[in-house]
Amino acid sequence: MSYKSTHTFVNLPVKDLNRTKEFFSIIGFEFNPQFSDENAACLVINDNTCVQLLTESYFQTFINKPIADATSSATGIIALSANSRAQTDELADKALAAGGKQSKEPADHGFMYVRSFEDLDGHLWEIAYMDMGAFPQE
């Protein structure tokens, strides 16, 4: 039997929770107040996926090793789909205008268009539009 999760919660440490909430609000994300308080903000990606933005001190209570400095080390990339190239650009441009940093140049692979940015804490995010009609067939 294979395992299939019904919900996904990604947890990320943040230095300044209020500033981080403002950053993601500017981009256009909403938060679920049911899973938010002074230590955490539940960033809603979709009905089944959330990113728990946790103050570093609260995040530390869940782990037994040091928190990586995401501004100098990559620990992963959170990749989100977009509905179009225009939406990809819109979200990435909003992130940059809100204080994020471009992490890579835009990449156009024909069937896939990707924009990348670092959030205020250095976590890596990608926004990608995939045109399945242009996907290479074997």
Model confidence pLDDT, tens digit, residues 85-97: 999 999 999 999 9
Q: Comparing C-alpha atoms, which of 119, 22, 11 is closest to residue 71?
A: 119
The CATH number of domain 8-60 is 3.40.50.300: no
Q: Comparing C-alpha atoms, which of 40, 33, 71, 66 is closest to residue 55?
A: 40
Q: Mean pLDDT, to the nearest integer, of 51-77?
A: 95
Q: Mean pLDDT, to the nearest integer, of 3-31?
A: 95
pTM for the model stands at 0.88
70 pLDDT above the threshold of 90: yes
pLDDT given at position 84:
95
What is the overall mean pLDDT for the chain? 94
Whole-angstrom distance, CA of residue 41 vs CA of residue 126: 20
Domain with CATH 3.10.180.10 in the chain: 8-60, 75-138
pLDDT given at position 133:
75
- The dotted CATH code for 75-138 is 3.10.180.10
With H, G, I as helix, E, B as strand and everything else as coil, classify residue 98: coil
